Chain A
Amino acid sequence: MSYEITLMTTMAISVLFALSLNFITGFCGQISLGHAAFLGAGAYTSAMLSKAAVPFLFTIPAAAICAAMLGAIIGLASLRVRHDFLAITTMGVGFLFVGIIRQQDFFGGEIGIAGIPSSGFGKVGFMLICIALALIFAAFSLYIRRSWMGFVFKSIADNEDVTRVLGIDVSRYKLIAFIIGTGTAGVAGALYAHHFRFVGPDSFGFVESISVLAMVIVGGIGSVWGVIFAAALLSVLPMLVQFIDDYKLLFYSGLLFAMMRFSPDGIAGLCNRLFSSIPRRVPGNSGDKR
C-alpha cells in the first residue's frame, strides 16, 4: 500500500505541474520550453524555508510568490518576442536558471539540497494535500476556460494581432497567464521538494521542461481533462512497467513524435474526432505562410 501512496502523490504533483503549463501554453498559446525553472524556483524556496524550520504549509504560498515573481519578469520579457523567438527565449531562461543555481553555494550549488524535512502530515496526509491542490487547480482551470478571461486567452492563442485590433490589452492578459501558470508551478515545486526530499540543479533542466510539455501536448493542448489524464499516466508509467523505465526517454520521445505526426491535438483531439463528427481545429496561429 505504501508504494501505491507514493505513486499517487507523484501523479498528483505531475498533474498540478502539467495543468500549470497548460494554462500558459494551452489556454494562452504562449509556448514555454523552460517551465521547469518555475517548478525549481518553488521547490528551492520551499526547501530552503523548510530547512530553516518554517512549517510546510507556509512554504507553499512563499514558493508560489517566488515563482510568480520570476514568471512576471519572464512574462514581461516574453512580450517582446513571439513564437520561435519566444520558444528559444523560454528555453534560455530554463538554462539560465539551472546555470545560476549551479554556481551559487547558497542554493547548494552542484550538489543541491538534501535532507528536506517531511511535511509533517504523514504519507497519507501529504498525498491528500497534493490531490486536493491538483483538483482545486483543475476546477479553477475549467472555470477560467468558460469565463471571459478564458475567451480572451483563446483569442490570443488563435491570432494575437486580431485580438489586439479588437482593443484588448493583449500584454496584460499574457502577463496574467504567465503569473498564474508560473505561480502554480511554484506550488507544485513546494510539493515536489517535500515528496522527493531532495532538490538539485539537474532536477529542473531542459528534459523536465520537455517532459511536462509532452504531458500537455499528448493530453491535448488546452484540454484540461486530456492533460490530467496524460500527466497522470506518463508520470507513473515508468514506475509501473519496468521495461518502459529502462527505455523511458525513447518511449516518451517516440510517443511525443507520434503524437505530433498523427494527432497534434493530443488524446483529447483524438477522442473528439472519434466521438464526434465535428472536426476540431488545432489552436495555433492561423494564416502562417509556408
Chain B
Amino acid sequence: MDSISIWVAKRLAEDEERQRVKGHTEEGFLIIETRSGYEFLVAGLGVKGVIQVEQVQPFFVGANKPQLVINVPSKTLWSGAAIDCIHYEQAAFGTMRDIARAGETHSAGSFRDRNMGFFINAMEQNRNVLSISYIYESIFQVERRRGGSLIVAVIDAYNMSAEDVRNTRTRFGHFDIVVKSSSYGSITEQAEAAAESMGAQALAFKGLMQCLAR
C-alpha cells in the first residue's frame, strides 16, 4: 500500500463506529466494510494543488476498480477532467469524511455531494440551459441557449461574506456568478460589492435560476 492509504487506514482505525478497514486489494485499494456489512473499495491520493486526470486514470486500469477516490488534504481542487474520468468509471470522489457518507449510500460509486447534486439537477432542468460541465468540483461551465455561457461557483456557506467571494476567486479563478449552497442565511452587502468589483454577481439559488433563464 502507498503511504496515503496507510495513513487513511490508520485514521479510520481510530474510529470504527461506522466502518472499518477490512483489508486491501493487490492494487492497494482499501476494502471498507460498513457496520451494515456493505463493502467498497477506496483509492487514496495525496495531491496538493489540482488533481489532474492523469493522476486518477491509473486507478481504473486493473482488475479491481475503486468505487471512491479520496484525496488528502481536503483543500486540494479536483479538475473537471479528473471528475469526468471518475464518474465515467461509475465511481465517486471526495475527502476522508466522504468515506462514511459514501458507505451509507450502499452504492459508493454513485455517491455525490448533496449540495452539488442539487445545483446540477436544478441547473439542468432550466429550459435555457443546454449543458453543464465541471471546471472544478464546485465550479461549473453552464452553456445557455440564449445569453452564452456562464461560470457558476457554488460555495458551501450559510451566510455569504465578502471573504467567501474573495476566497472563491483566489482558489478557483474567474467566475460570473457565485451562489451559496444553503437556502438559509444571507448574502452580505459587502459580498455583493466584492463580487461586483470582480465583474460577477453574488446570488442565492432563486437569483441563479432567474439569471440562467435570461
Chains A and B come from one and the same complex: no
Seen from chain A, the residues whose Cβ lies within 8 Å of a Cβ on chain B are none
